[in-house]
Amino acid sequence: MADLLLSTPIYGAASRVLSDADTAVVAQLLKQVQALGRGNAERARYYEQRQAFKDFKISTPPQVLQQVESVLGWPAKAVDVLADRISFAAFTTSDGSGVDPFGLNEIADQNHFRAEFAGATTSTLINSCAFIVATQGLPGEPDVLWLTRTASEATGLWDRRKRQLSAGLSVLDWGKNGEITAVAVYLPDKTVEINFSSANVGSASIIPNRVGRPLMVHTAFKPNLHRPFGFSRITRAVRSLTDSATRTIVRSEIGAEFFAAPQRYGIGVDDSMGQWTALLGRFLTLELTESGEKPEVGQFTQQSMQPHTDQLRLRTNLFAAETSIPVSELGFVSENPSSDAAIQSQRDPLRQLSNSFIRDNQSALSQLAAMSVMLRDGLSEPPDGISSVSARFEPTVQVTDAGRADALLKQVAILPWLADSPIALEMLGYDQATINRLLSDKARSSASSTLDRLLSVPQPELVSAPEAE
């Protein structure tokens, strides 16, 4: 890659080649996305329930293994039960006015960002991170496009000082054999689209970037100082427990086959009797042996299915502890909690994880908002007031409408002015479109009431001026 030759048909009048430093960055990013591909593919197989069955080859007959297709959806459950609690609502300003001075919600609507961010959230939980690219749209497209990318097709370099990406890469096309044939590289001063025509030769199209930072942000699950790109929800423990539980299910199915048709034995029985006849027949008609003795028949003691059930329950409890999922969500019904508060207490770890995810990725969405406005308006500096923009999410606590209304009433009793705030409508669970409609109806109702009051006020009688003599 260090010897990459680049012919550059540039958008504009000038042409240039990538510098040695830029070429080294491209090489590092390509190496990084390829190195992480195997791990990402394995986690994706677990999520999609396509992971091959792993057996110890001790107690399971080989002919049975050839027909086993037992799967377990626990990894998908670990991801989806958390992703369903994280729902992007809208961009808002810190003054709480509900006004969108930069038109960010219009950009979000044009890019179907609520659904796109939901997909990015799921991908983040699977692979530890996902990426969102901002780029100018082509004719017929929105002015600014937000493109989500999985960790299998994108990567980035982290700048610890600036706490943002210093460079990013997105794979645009793959070859027939899985090789990378086209990429987009996002640098602070330019975006480079590279097409590889052979192993070391390619063409590059360079698009200047006035924003001053790579047009890419990333979302992460539980990032820390050592791993700014976070951790996967499908951890090694999750994969190991899933494999163990799957083996338990397979062994229990084999045991169930023998339970349904218990092994029997016969002493002095003619071996001409068919196996299934002896096994499944309700009555056996046996003749005396040649010596005149009665044949002896019997049945082996049937094995118990309880050990399999106990082992599966143990694996379920371990998986629930690893993922903070209530055991009841995994198929083992426990004692019903006595109240809604008790139910919420069981799900509180999921709420904490959801809030943590939102907190960790607020900065990325704020950066996405700022660079999008700059890209749309052709700015080289962030506009005034853009720092007050933040992303608002739907409540992570899932309660009944009655419970939500009761909680709001108790808060309004302490803070009466809260009843007149749009935040009260957010707490009631209304989406942004409904909130806007309600506020509009309130404004019209207030204007109508004011007009009615003015019209009801008695008008002073007009006294005519005396006629001049």
Say yes or no: 418 and 310 in one domain.
no
Say yes or no: 110 and 21 in one domain.
yes
Say yes or no: 55 and 159 in one domain.
yes
Could you tell me if residue 421 is inside a domain?
yes
CA atoms within 13 A on the CB side of 20: 0
Say yes or no: 249 and 299 in one domain.
yes
Cβ count near 79 (within 10 Å): 25
Q: What is the value of pTM for the model shown?
A: 0.78
Using CA atoms, how far apart are residues 292 and 286, in angstroms rounded to an integer?
A: 12
Q: Which domain holds residue 404?
A: 400-454
Say yes or no: 142 and 47 in one domain.
yes
Tell which of 160, 195, 220 closes a domain: 220
Say yes or no: 60 and 98 in one domain.
yes
Tell which of 274, 302, 330 closes a domain: 330
Using CA atoms, how far apart are residues 10 and 7, in angstroms rounded to an integer?
A: 9
Say yes or no: 196 and 124 in one domain.
yes
Say yes or no: 20 and 79 in one domain.
yes
Tell which of 179, 194, 220 closes a domain: 220
Using CA atoms, how far apart are residues 220 and 231, in angstroms rounded to an integer?
A: 7
Q: Where do we find the tokens 């009761």?
A: 406
Could you tell me if residue 200 is inside a domain?
yes
Could you tell me if residue 428 is inside a domain?
yes
Q: Which two tokens stand for residue 455?
A: 């019209």
3-state helix, strand, coil in the chain (%, to 5): 45, 15, 40
Q: Are 193 and 172 in contact (CB under 8 A)?
A: yes
Say yes or no: 63 and 187 in one domain.
yes
Could you tell me if residue 459 is inside a domain?
no
Could you tell me if residue 124 is inside a domain?
yes
Using CA atoms, how far apart are residues 274 and 350, in angstroms rounded to an integer?
A: 58
Could you tell me if residue 78 is inside a domain?
yes
Say yes or no: 170 and 255 in one domain.
no
Could you tell me if residue 377 is inside a domain?
no
Could you tell me if residue 341 is inside a domain?
no
Say yes or no: 18 and 97 in one domain.
yes
Number of domains in the chain: 3
Characterize the bridge pairing of strands 5-7 and 201-208.
parallel
Say yes or no: 276 and 183 in one domain.
no
Taking only the tens of pLDDT, the chain with its 469 residues reads 333 444 433 333 223 457 888 888 988 999 999 899 899 999 999 999 988 777 766 666 666 666 667 788 999 999 999 999 999 999 988 765 667 889 999 999 999 999 999 999 999 999 999 999 999 988 889 999 999 999 999 999 999 999 999 999 999 998 888 888 889 999 999 999 988 765 555 677 889 999 999 999 999 999 999 999 999 999 999 999 999 998 888 888 777 766 666 666 666 665 555 554 555 454 455 566 566 666 767 666 666 777 878 888 899 999 999 999 988 888 776 656 555 666 666 678 899 999 999 999 999 999 999 999 999 999 999 999 899 999 999 888 766 666 667 777 777 777 776 677 777 777 676 666 677 776 777 777 766 665 566 556 565 555 555 555 5
